[in-house]
Structure 1
């Protein structure tokens, strides 16, 4: 995603094949959020594929 997308300051990549769980207590702050519904659906589809759901 280019900088400015999802509220991020730098270009970013979502690595949907590297799913990792984290304890919410370890997260300090929100860095960004995907507002574009089309992009959000593509990310969800990629994660579902990786988790074989």
Structure 2
């Protein structure tokens, strides 16, 4: 966390900082959701490939 003495006293500048941080957080959250979806898809593909590789179960 930043030292409060380094933050501007101007309310507009503080609001701009918060808005920028909010946008960055939203961008990172979307990246994480995309990554999680890719991981889920790849895990499903691995499971399917394992089934194929092990042959019929009967």
TM-score range (shorter-chain normalised) is 0.3 to 0.5
User: TM-score, normalised to structure 2's length?
Assistant: 0.35
| Greater helix content | 2
What is the TM-score normalised by the length of structure 1? 0.38
Max radius of gyration: which structure?
2
